Structure 1
Amino acid sequence: MRLVSFRERGSDGTPRVGVEVAPGGGVLDLSVASPTLPRDMLQFQSPGACSHVGVEVAPGGGVLDLSAASPALPRDMCSFLAAGQSAMDAAKSAMDAGQHVLRRDQITLTSPVPNPGKVICVGMNYKDHCLEQNAPIPKEPIFFSKFGNTITGPEDDIIHPDNSDQVDWEVEMTVVIGKQGKDIKEEDVYDHVAGYTVADDVSARDWQMKRNGGQWLLGKTFDSFCPLGPAIVTKDEIPDPHTLGLRCRVNGNTVQDSSTEQLVFQVPTLVAWISRIVTLCPGDVILTGTPPGVGVFRKPPVFLKRGDVVECEIDGIGTIRNKVV
């Protein structure tokens, strides 16, 4: 199931939840389709209304609006995920009914999780990325964070800051937490995972590597520096997240092309490790690291400029496409 958040075009209201129905097709509004269903999975906007949660039925297709059935239902993805299996079951029933589907030209997809409580990132987590910078493979995960202001949608613009001239790309598979947990055992991790989405961990390398004492936070957390989407693909559709091809293109040219097989630390290790430090909650996102091909390690280095278009794609999940402005 492909869960989306959306707004009707022309609206700046809160996103609703829906289901993408078919490639290039509509969105089924799950709130109309199922009055008992909380509205949070895929976020989108449609004209003249607040944002909705929906389910993308197939990549690039229509979206079933989970938020239309009852105004009392929650409209954010975190609330939907917190409702657990009952919400998932209701979404599937609404999909089977096939009503309340909105066409893609009626809506705007937002980040599937517009307001995650935590944006957790992992550095140096691809073997081939370590090799490209002549760095040793880490013996334990390297975690850092981005602030929530970085989150933006799968087709929204990346804002190039005036005070950086080294803005770089990083395609990353992202884990979306679906169930609260602390001190989670590795064998229980997937009980706490809702699904997976695509992120671009946009980075200002001058601020990351040369400013702020070499601490990464400022270089990673400029506004719009974490495009996310297009949907949360539920874990039942990706039984093994460690066999996925992922790639990044800038202006149509492939700059990153690898596989999650290259992950140094896999999903169970990452989730279990970070849960020893913080309680993970529904809607938290964990960016699992980027493969080789980033601009900073090219010879000579290459960085994004205004007008560039960045596409990040992961097999089985989808593609986000963001223009630099």
Structure 2
Amino acid sequence: MSHVIAPPPVPSVPVHAQNQRFPVRRIYCVGRNYAAHAIEMGGTGREAPFFFMKPGDAVLPVAAGETGTLAYPSLTRDLHHEVELVVAIGQGGRDIPAARALEHVWGYAVGLDMTRRDLQAEMKKAGRPWSIGKAFDGAAPIGAITPAAQVTGIDTAAIGLTVNGQPRQAGRIDQMIWNVAEVIEHLSAAWTLAPGDLVFTGTPEGVAAVVAGDVLEANIEGLNALRVRIG
């Protein structure tokens, strides 16, 4: 098949200890999936899961041991960090029951859901879609993906983030309101999942602003750390 313009390159993420990469199709994100974070964002602490999306090419892949650079995005003066467990989908499906959901997981990674908080707040106040707050260039930094078979204890792993070496966020994966299997069940009821999809599963409390020059280090026990400098 020929195209009238050159097809864009496929976004991809490094894989732990492999030369091959994981191609990215879609990026789904779960909102307010930790009770304390839901409360700090004005919620009740527990509600049915809701989702938003980032374009696949918003991914900012960072290889293990390297420091990525995220240019401070345009239009905002309030860029926030949100450390998250990312689930990489290797087997697609629709209406996937929670009991079978983990069979669809290819691997796990540490990610950052970067947010132009002021723009998001403006859109919420006006009752408009807030993609502009979430779906900008480089809005989804992610570290190397570790295949699921090589990951142990992820359900109870510690998750945290430091900025310039100072702790900002800390929690545990078992503090999620909806666990990974339940998230996949709910998500696949709304969309047909496919290999190459990434699912950002929510963030613990402590989200805050960063400025140019800040260095963020995101960690989840058992996974490659993610280190990003704000340019």
> Does TM, scored on the shorter chain, surpass 0.5?
yes
Q: CA deviation at 1:131?
A: 3.3
The answer as to 2:178 corresponding to 1:265 is: yes
Which of 102, 106, 126 pairs up with 1:190? 102
SS at match of 2:142: strand
Which of 134, 138, 154 pairs up with 1:220? 134
Q: Which deviates the most, 138-147 or 315-324?
A: 138-147
The structure number with the bigger radius of gyration is 1
Residues 130, 137 of structure 1: 8 Å contact kept:
yes
SS at match of 2:156: coil
TM-score normalised over the length of structure 1: 0.62
Equivalent residue number for residue 150 of structure 2: 237
Residues 149, 222 of structure 1: 8 Å contact kept:
no
TM-score normalised over the length of structure 2: 0.86
Q: CA deviation at 1:135?
A: 2.1
Residues 86, 109 of structure 2: 8 Å contact kept:
yes
Distance 1:314 1:249 in 2: 12
Number of aligned residue pairs: 216
Q: CA deviation at 1:55?
A: 4.5
Residues 35, 46 of structure 2: 8 Å contact kept:
no
Q: CA-to-partner distance for each residue in 1:226-255, whole Å, 9 max, x for gaps?
A: 1111x2222223344320101111111110
Q: CA-to-partner distance for each residue in 1:249-292, whole Å, 9 max, x for gaps?
A: 11111100111111000011110111112111111000000000
Q: Using CA pairs under 8 Å that are at least 6 residues apart, name the structure with larger relative contact order, 1 or 2.
A: 2
Which of 117, 125, 128 pairs up with 2:36? 128
Distance 2:193 2:41 in 1: 32
- Counterpart of 1:77, as a letter, is F
| Aligned-pair identity (%) | 31
RMSD of equivalent CA atoms: 2.0
Q: CA deviation at 1:311?
A: 1.0
1:129-148 to structure 2, matched below 5 A, reads 129-148=37-56
Distance 2:123 2:182 in 1: 31
Distance 1:139 1:307 in 2: 36
Equivalent residue number for residue 255 of structure 1: 168
Unaligned runs of 5+ in 1: 1-13, 16-39, 44-53, 57-63, 67-75, 79-115, 296-302
Q: CA-to-partner distance for each residue in 1:166-203, whole Å, 9 max, x for gaps?
A: 00100000110011111111111111111100110000
Indicate how the Cα distance of structure 1 residues 245 and 55 shifts in structure 2: closer, same or farther if over 3 A, else same: closer
Q: Which deviates the most, 118-127 or 140-149?
A: 140-149
Residues 128, 262 of structure 1: 8 Å contact kept:
no
Equivalent residue number for residue 111 of structure 2: 199
- Counterpart of 2:145, as a letter, is I
